[in-house]
């Protein structure tokens, strides 16, 4: 009888254990409208494409990473990115730039480049995360360079702070999208004429 009771009870315990596992939430980054509803800038220059997005090893993972006290980083078991973070950044930033420079001016990731020159924007991200207080920081160098041989690269730096509505994962990822929108404002202002401003 005891053995029969154990056979019946064991599957029930396994079901209860599985049912209590926290649900995994998947997050993405979304386009942000231009600052103050500005209309697209004239798209008379070179086509633009977002190139490499380099992430530090602390962020280059599927789990959502937030900053803790001191030197602590919190790597979530339940909150994950819906795709690799560099890909989400590239696609969101492309959409943001299309809203600011016009759809015909900005090539999407994977679009073939024409035989003419293309202005490639590459990001080298140092920090891109939030904390429990909802303070999101995007610290990145970004370079622009034409695909023509011998063209020089121009490097810029952006340090952006966005206050999220709370320290929840949803609020933090929303604020991260807003930070990318602010970065797109800077990139658009520098590249509106087709090259880069000094």
82 part of a folded domain: yes
97 part of a folded domain: yes
Instruction: Please answer whether residues 130 and 138 qualify as being in contact, where contact means their C-beta atoms are separated by less than 8 angstroms.
Output: no
What pTM was estimated for this model as a whole?
A: 0.84
81 has which bridge partners?
27
20 part of a folded domain: no
Instruction: Please answer whether residues 163 and 146 qualify as being in contact, where contact means their C-beta atoms are separated by less than 8 angstroms.
Output: no
Q: Which domain holds residue 120?
A: 26-191
| pLDDT digit string (tens) for the chain, length 198 residues | 545 544 445 555 555 555 567 899 999 999 999 877 555 565 567 899 999 999 999 999 999 999 999 899 999 999 999 999 999 999 999 999 999 999 889 999 888 877 678 999 999 999 999 999 999 999 999 999 988 777 788 999 999 999 999 999 999 999 999 999 999 999 999 887 655 444
178 part of a folded domain: yes
Mind giving me the DSSP string for 59-101?
TSSSEEEEE-STT-EEEEEEEEESS-HHHHHHHHHHHHHHHHH
14 part of a folded domain: no
184 part of a folded domain: yes
Residue 117: which CATH number? 3.40.50.10610
Tokens standing for 165? 């509505």
Mind giving me the DSSP string for 127-146?
EEE-BTT-EEEEEEEEEEEE
Residue with tokens 């009888």: 1
118 part of a folded domain: yes
64 part of a folded domain: yes
CA torsion through residues 90, 91, 92, 97, sign: positive
The total number of structural domains that make up the chain: 1
């Amino acid at each position: 009888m005891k053995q029969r009771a154990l056979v019946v009870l064991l599957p029930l315990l396994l079901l209860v254990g599985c049912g209590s596992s926290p649900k995994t939430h998947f997050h993405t980054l979304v386009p942000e409208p231009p600052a103050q509803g500005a209309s697209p800038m004239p798209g008379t220059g070179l086509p633009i494409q977002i190139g490499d997005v380099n992430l530090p090893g602390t962020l280059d993972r599927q789990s959502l990473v937030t900053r803790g006290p001191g030197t602590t980083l919190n790597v979530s078991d339940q909150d994950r990115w819906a795709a690799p973070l560099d890909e989400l950044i590239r696609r969101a930033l492309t959409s943001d730039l299309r809203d600011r420079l016009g759809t015909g001016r900005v090539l999407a990731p994977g679009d073939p480049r024409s035989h003419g020159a293309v202005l490639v924007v590459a990001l080298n991200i140092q920090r891109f995360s939030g904390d429990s207080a909802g303070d999101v920081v995007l610290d990145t160098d970004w370079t622009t360079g034409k695909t023509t041989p011998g063209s020089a690269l121009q490097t810029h730096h952006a340090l952006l702070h966005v206050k999220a509505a709370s320290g929840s994962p949803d609020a933090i990822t929303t604020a991260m999208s807003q930070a990318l929108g602010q970065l797109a404002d800077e990139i658009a202002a520098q590249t509106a004429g087709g090259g880069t401003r000094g």
